[in-house]
Structure 1
C-alpha cells in the first residue's frame, strides 16, 4: 500500500534535504495521515534521505500533539 503520491514524496524529500543541509526552513505540511476509527493523526512535512522516516506533527489523541518522527514504510 502506498501512503503518498510521487509528488508528495518528492516535496517531502526536498524539505528533508533542506533541513539536512542546515537550512532554516519552516515547510508547509505536505501529507496528513489519520485513522478514521481513532484519534491518531500525523501532519507530515519532511522525509529523511532513506525515504522512510517522516517528520511532522504527531497527535496520538491525548490532547498533547508533538513534533516527531515516524516510519511511513508499509512493506
Structure 2
C-alpha cells in the first residue's frame, strides 16, 4: 500500500497548514482505521521537518486512546488479524475539534468518529 492511498496531496497540505498556524485545537483532517481490528487514528498535523511524523488522536483498540505523535510508515505496517491493510475513511468529515474527540474517546474507551 502506498502513502498516497491513505493521504491525498490536499490532505498533506491541510495537515501542514495545521502544524504551522497558531490554532491549538484543530479539527482532524483524516481518519485512518484497521478494517479488521479496533485501531483508529484521527490526524490533525504533519511535522514540517519530519514528513512521516503526524500528530493526532491514536487508538490501538486497547481501550486507552491518547493524543500524540505517530509515524505513517508504522501505521501502514500494521496488518489486522486477517492481514487487511490500514484504510482511510473516505466518508469522514470532522465535526469537532481534536480535544473534543479525545474527551469523548476517553469516556467511551475508543474513538467514535
Q: Indicate the TM-score class for this superposition, using the shorter chain for normalisation.
A: 0.7 to 0.9
Aligned to 1:16, the other structure's residue is in SS state: helix
Aligned to 2:18, the other structure's residue is in SS state: helix
- Specify every segment of 5 or more residues in structure 1 that has no aligned partner in the other structure, as ranges: none
- Specify every segment of 5 or more residues in structure 2 that has no aligned partner in the other structure, as ranges: 77-113
Aligned pair partner of 2:16 in 5, 13, 18 = 13
Higher helix share: 2
Kindly provide the CA deviation profile for residues 5-38 of structure 1, in whole angstroms up to 9, marking residues without a partner as x. 11110000011122xxxx2421100011110011
Aligned to 2:28, the other structure's residue is in SS state: coil
Distance, in Å, in 2 between the alignment partners of 1:71 and 1:27 is 19
User: What does 1:2-41 correspond to in 2, within 5 Å?
Assistant: 2=4, 3-18=6-21, 23-41=22-40
Q: Which runs of 4 or more aligned residues in structure 1 lie more than 3 Å from their structure 2 counterparts after TM superposition?
A: none
Aligned twin of 1:64: 64
Aligned twin of 1:55: 55
Q: How many residues align?
A: 70
Q: TM-score, normalising length from structure 2? A: 0.58
Q: TM-score, normalising length from structure 1? A: 0.84
Larger Rg: 1 or 2? 2
